[in-house]
Copies of this chain bind each other. A is one copy, B any other.
Amino acid sequence: MSIIEPQESTLYQQLAETFASAIHNGTWAPGSRLPAIRRVAGAHQVSVNTVLNAWQVLEDRGLIEARPQSGYFVRTVLPALAHPRKHLTEVTSPSSEKLDLIDTVFAAQNHPDYTNISLACPQNTDFYPVVKLSRITASLLRHHPEIIGRYALPPGNERLRREVARRTMDLGFSLTSDAITLTHGCMEALQLALRAVTRPGDCVGLETPTYFYLFPLLASLGLKSVEIPTDPERGLSLDALEMLLREKRLNALIVMPNVQNPLGCSMTLADKKRLAQQVNQYQIPLIEDGLYSELQFCWPLTPAVKAFDRDGWVMYCSSFTKTLAPDFRLGWIAAGRFTAEIARLKAVSSMAEPALLSETLAQFLASGGYDHHLRSLRRRYAAQLDEARGLIARHFPRGTRATLPQGGFVFWVELPGTVDSVTLFHRLLQEKICVTPGELYTLSDRCHNALRLSCCYPFDERYCYALKRTGALACDMSGLAPGA
């Protein structure tokens, strides 16, 4: 900050108050962009510096936020969530009620008549280059129909593995194709990784909250879990992890260092380095879920933890299902020191991935179309997240908080403590609206008032109505008025 003249000091504070009132009374709605600084300076007859100082005041108060290359925006809802109220380092297994709740929510999420504002799988044609992919597949079938008659074998189509290997450079590590095994989506990559490095009864460290499908996956493998405190802005607590590692209480660890599901946050570069160093030092396999890494809003992408993996303890898992072709279900794993074991497990688990689909993706990647597609997807999701947060700010009960994702399309909403999100889920279901209650994302009772929401669908009337209706019901249940 530059030193401020006394007269200027009054001016910028006055300006800040003017805009603060305008924000509070809704003249500048949550999520809207403030006018350009020069325009404000001109209109209010003050210097650019004065406007900058005023904006600083508003930013400090949490009313506005700067976005690189975009300007200043009225903050939608507060990005910071309360930190976990206690350390959750007890070993747990999911109750049958928890597993039943997961089944119920999963079934509801996939009900064709429901408006889904939480499912993390975009189902819209405009979002994917389906026409280009179709053309590649059709051309392959025309010129090489024999591809259908061949038996695909692990580790999978060489050309696709080469393209995947080449792309790992964007995430800070450079592999060759033989370090990669193709899998049936990221789900199978996680499943194989766990089977490669654990035995029933073992204990796996998880973020909290974490991807809810990990609970039935761990249960199906007879694995227990420990939930490690996870900051909604910085991700996994490495101090808590250090403690667990020192006490030898973990056999493996699953982390989403970039664009965490459900929080949307990414770890800092320093934390990623430290995490890589920790798992190498303690020789504990880290299963890095990179599903949303390529949907980070920043460019160049921030690196994966795998980029700092010295001795091959990091098993990097990812997939094209969320970014390119959901139906193809093509995922991959770069399993470091466990590569041979993973290839063997893949063969006895489901053999290999179809060459037709693999070759289609490989040709699409080689054409350079993927980067272009990712750029437009990132822009779209960033804009939709902002709109969704704006709606929440206006329609959810006062005191509601939501995370500010670093990429992707899911975010985490904490409602006032009196709102039970499982009850809210059931009430909304009667109106054919589907949300995901926070309880799914932890085995503790800590997230009873949270929701995971998603904005991967087109931002149409139906979606907006469902989001507003969720807010209205939450206001009803909490007795609180809407508004940030």
A interface with B by C-beta (< 8 Å) = 103, 106, 110, 121-125, 127-128, 130-131, 133-134, 137-138, 141-142, 145-153, 183-185, 187-188, 191, 195, 199-200, 213, 216-217, 220, 222, 321, 325-329, 344-345, 347-357
Given A145-B131, A222-B200, are A152 and B326 neighbors across the interface (CB < 8 Å)? Answer: yes
* A183 / chain B contacts, CB cutoff of 8 Å: 350
Inter-chain contact A187/B127, CB cutoff 8 Å: no
Q: Are A149 and B354 in contact (CB under 8 A)?
A: no
Contacts of A184 in B (CB 8 A): 184, 350-351
Q: 23 A-B pairs, CB-CB below 8 angstroms?
A: A106-B347, A128-B149, A130-B145, A130-B147, A130-B149, A131-B145, A137-B141, A149-B325, A150-B326, A151-B321, A184-B184, A185-B351, A187-B350, A187-B351, A199-B222, A200-B200, A216-B347, A216-B348, A217-B349, A327-B354, A329-B350, A329-B351, A354-B357
Partner of A352, one of B128, B145, B213, B329: B329
Complex contact A134–B153 (CB within 8 A): no
Contacting residues, chain B, for A325 (C-beta < 8 A): 148-149
Question: Which residues on the B side are within 8 Å of A355 (C-beta)?
Answer: 327
Q: How far is the CB of A23 from chain B (nearest CB, A)?
A: 39
- Nearest CB of B to A381, in Å: 15
* Cβ contact within 8 Å between B149 and A103: no
Looking across the interface, which residue of chain B has its beta carbon closest to that of A344? Answer: B216
Tell me the complex Cα distance, A106–B185, Å.
24
Kindly report which residue of chain B lies nearest to residue A147, judged by CB atoms.
Answer: B327
Q: Which of B103, B110, B152, B350 contacts A350 (CB 8 A)?
A: B350
> Cα distance A327–B130 when bound, in Å?
21
Write the chain B residue with the least CB distance to A187.
B351
Q: Is B148 touching A133 in the complex (CB atoms < 8 A)?
A: yes
Instruction: Tell me whether A348 and B187 are in contact (CB under 8 A).
Output: yes
Rank and list the top 3 A-B pairs by shortest CB-CB distance, nearest first. A134-B141, A121-B151, A184-B350
